[in-house]
Amino acid sequence: MVTIRIDYKGKLRCEAVHGPSGRRVETDAPVDNHGRGESFSPTDLATTALGSCMATIMGIVARQRGLDLGGMRMQVVKEMSATPPRRIARITTEFHIPGEFPEADRKALEQAALTCPVYQSLHPELEKPVTFHWDA
């Protein structure tokens, strides 16, 4: 169990404090939803959580297989719904993975990404396309 304390700071901003480490993250409402967009929005953090989780689980599998994912980069793109209720409608994830990997390792790493806890926790109606580019 992990506890995160969140304090509303006013002006549509919050500060979250990670209980175990004490690290802090600030959020701001996005410009298109009455905020100033000066920090991650809560939905930006959800999108970031997905990408980070996928990369982390891939890293665990890579370590178990003695693989190096150094230089891997990814991009996650969040799209909000055009009609109410306001929600994340789509998160597109694109990986670029340098290096030579046998097909079995590629499949294991791709499967790891698609079974990360955040990916599995998101609502089934949320579109979550994922593309892997193996840049040998």
pLDDT at 115: 97
Mapping DSSP to helix (H, G, I), strand (E, B) and coil, where does residue 133 land?
Answer: strand
Each residue's pLDDT tens digit, 75-133: 999 999 999 999 999 999 999 999 999 999 999 999 999 999 999 999 999 999 999 99
Measured CA to CA, the distance from residue 68 to residue 54 in angstroms comes to 16
pLDDT recorded at residue 136: 79
pLDDT tens column, 1-30: 999 999 999 999 999 999 999 999 999 999
Q: Tell the burial category of 131 from Cβ atoms under 10 Å away from its Cβ (0-12, 13-18, 19+).
A: exposed
Six-digit token pair at 40?
Answer: 């991650």
- What pLDDT score does 129 carry? 98
> How far, CA to CA in Å, does 42 sit from each of 26, 109, 115?
9, 28, 23
Model pLDDT for residues 55-78, shown as the tens digit of each residue: 999 999 999 999 999 999 999 999
Domain match, 114 and 49 both: yes
Output the domain CATH number for residue 112: 3.30.300.20
- Residues 48, 19: one domain? no
Mean pLDDT of 36-53: 96
- My answer on whether 15 and 65 are in the same domain is no
Cα 107 to its chain centre, rounded Å, is: 20
pTM of the model: 0.93
20 and 47 together in one domain: no
Q: Which domain holds residue 47?
A: 42-135
Q: Identify the helix (H) or strand (E) that includes residue 18.
A: strand 13-18
Query: What are the residue ranges of helices labelled H in 66-131?
Result: 103-114, 117-121
Same domain, 23 and 75: no
Domain count, the chain: 2
How many Cα atoms sit within 13 Å of 39 on the Cβ side? 14
User: Which residues are 92's β-sheet partners?
Assistant: 77
pLDDT at residue 52, as a whole number: 97
